[in-house]
């Protein structure tokens, strides 16, 4: 069963990415848009770890092989189709091919550490590394019967979050006076995913959610306060690379928990709007894959600086991504569910 609030947040995340990559220029959503990927990371950490936590609570064990197969059917077919299509089109347009090293970097999901073809696929590598690391982590804590040791798991996850921050601070400090310093390495962007995992663990194994529900409006205000710096400081600045990114990720973690504890998305006055955002969220993976192709064609055949071009970019990204989600992603998910005999969630 899909949770509309989480799909709504996915929709927000992909729209932020589109605002970041569109040609509208200097505006608040453009400057905040780079964090759309980090919202995806927090959501992914919460949802994907939650699948394993729920399985453990239901069965007392976790089938890691089945988990990885299901992730593979979700991630690989849309991505490799995207790679095949865009490389073929590039050859058709230019009669040349990208360097083999960059192609292998994409195919092997190491784009966050090695040169890549597309500017946005580094986040797919971060996600893939997360699936593998999470599998090892869950396998070990289940094997050694530690998954129910709440203090240990919470301290361990919190320590990893702090470690990711510390490494990011260490790398960023020599560039503290730079106007912009960027990084995409998995270990430097992992704290968003880890915050999602921590929130998921608190949700599934502790009474924290009851406390959260009683104080959810206070938490909502805290989340707003945590993300405000992203509207003040520019992405790539020393503050946003360090404290700012961690603050925003914590805010996103609160919003994630808030979205599953509110009925606002079911209200009649809000149902149409939330349904539109949720629809975009459901197809967000394929939209993310194809949106730069949509930008390329929009700017190739229209005035790159026109507002009309931005509108075409937004509309075509959503339409093309949704189309490929329906004809590529969805059929493979059905095959996945038939093979693993677990209903889609």
Q: What percent of the chain has pLDDT over 70?
A: 97
Mean pLDDT of 196-201: 98
Assign 344 a pLDDT band (cuts: 50, 70, 90). Answer: very low
Q: Which residues span the domain enclosing 196?
A: 4-340
Is 195 inside a domain boundary?
yes
Measured CA to CA, the distance from residue 310 to residue 298 in angstroms comes to 8
Contacts of 204-210 spanning 24+ positions with Cβ under 8 A = 204/50, 204/53, 204/54, 204/57, 205/53, 205/147, 205/148, 205/150, 205/153, 206/150, 209/257, 209/261
Selection from 43-47, 90-94, 274-278 with the highest mean pLDDT? 43-47
Please say whether the beta carbons of 322 and 286 come within 8 A.
Answer: yes
Is 345 inside a domain boundary?
no
Q: Cα angle at 179 between 41 and 27, to 5 degrees?
A: 65
| pLDDT of 271 | 74
Assign 272 a pLDDT band (cuts: 50, 70, 90). Answer: confident
pLDDT exceeds cutoff 90 at 104: yes
Mean pLDDT of 139-163: 97
Please say whether the beta carbons of 41 and 10 come within 8 A.
Answer: no
pLDDT exceeds cutoff 70 at 142: yes
pLDDT exceeds cutoff 90 at 52: yes
Q: Which of 23-32, 127-136, 165-174, 211-220 has the lowest mean pLDDT?
A: 23-32
Assign 295 a pLDDT band (cuts: 50, 70, 90). Answer: very high
| pLDDT of 343 | 47
Measured over the CA atoms of residue 124, residue 125, residue 129 and residue 135, the dihedral's sign is positive
| pLDDT of 143 | 95
Is 102 inside a domain boundary?
yes
Q: Which residue has the tokens 């992914």?
A: 44
CB environment 23-49: b (16+ within 10 A), e (fewer): beeeeeebbbbbbbbbbbbbbbbbbbb
pLDDT exceeds cutoff 90 at 270: no
The pTM of this model reads 0.95
Measured CA to CA, the distance from residue 314 to residue 305 in angstroms comes to 14
Assign 269 a pLDDT band (cuts: 50, 70, 90). Answer: low
Q: What is the mean pLDDT of the chain?
A: 94
Mean pLDDT of 16-28: 85
Assign 145 a pLDDT band (cuts: 50, 70, 90). Answer: very high
Closest among 339, 333, 304 to 74, alpha carbons compared? 333
CB environment 137-166: b (16+ within 10 A), e (fewer): bbeebbeeeebeeeeebbebbeebbeebbe
Mean pLDDT of 192-203: 98
**Tally of domains in the chain:** 1
Q: Cβ–Cβ contacts within 10 Å for residue 195, how many?
A: 28
Assign 30 a pLDDT band (cuts: 50, 70, 90). Answer: confident
Q: Cβ–Cβ contacts within 10 Å for residue 303, how many?
A: 11
| pLDDT of 341 | 78
CA 305 to chain centre: 29
3-state helix, strand, coil in the chain (%, to 5): 80, 0, 20
Q: Which of 3-7, 237-241, 282-286 has the lowest mean pLDDT?
A: 3-7
pLDDT exceeds cutoff 70 at 342: no
């Amino acid at each position: 069963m899909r949770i509309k609030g989480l799909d709504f947040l996915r929709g927000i995340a992909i729209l932020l990415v589109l605002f970041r990559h569109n040609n509208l220029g200097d505006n608040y959503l453009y400057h905040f848009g780079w964090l759309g990927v980090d919202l995806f990371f927090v959501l992914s950490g919460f949802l994907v770890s939650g699948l394993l936590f729920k399985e453990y609570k239901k069965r007392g064990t976790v089938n890691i092989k089945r988990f990885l197969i299901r992730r593979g059917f979700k991630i690989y077919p849309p991505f490799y189709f995207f790679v095949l299509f865009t490389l073929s089109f590039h050859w058709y347009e230019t009669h040349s091919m990208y360097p083999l090293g960059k192609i292998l970097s994409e195919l092997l999901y190491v784009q966050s550490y090695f040169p890549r073809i597309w500017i946005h696929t580094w986040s797919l590598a971060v996600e893939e590394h997360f699936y593998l690391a999470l599998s090892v982590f869950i396998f070990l804590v289940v094997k050694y019967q530690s998954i129910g040791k709440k203090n240990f798991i919470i301290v361990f996850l919190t320590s990893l979050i702090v470690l990711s921050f510390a490494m990011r601070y260490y790398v960023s400090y020599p560039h503290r006076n730079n106007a912009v310093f960027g990084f995409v390495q998995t270990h430097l962007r992992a704290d968003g995913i880890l915050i999602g995992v921590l929130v998921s663990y608190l949700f599934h194994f502790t009474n924290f959610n009851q406390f959260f529900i009683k104080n959810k409006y206070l938490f909502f205000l805290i989340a707003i306060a945590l993300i405000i710096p992203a509207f003040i400081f520019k992405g790539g600045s020393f503050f946003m690379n360090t404290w700012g990114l961690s603050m925003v990720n914590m805010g996103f973690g609160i919003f994630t928990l808030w979205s599953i504890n509110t009925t606002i998305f079911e209200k009649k006055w809000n149902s149409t709007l939330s349904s539109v955002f949720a629809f975009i969220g459901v197809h967000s993976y394929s939209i993310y894959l194809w949106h730069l192709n949509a930008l390329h064609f929009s700017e190739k055949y229209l005035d790159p600086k026109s507002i009309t071009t931005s509108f075409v970019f937004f509309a075509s990204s959503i339409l093309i991504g949704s189309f490929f989600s329906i004809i590529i992603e969805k059929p493979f998910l059905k095959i996945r569910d038939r093979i693993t005999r677990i209903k889609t969630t």
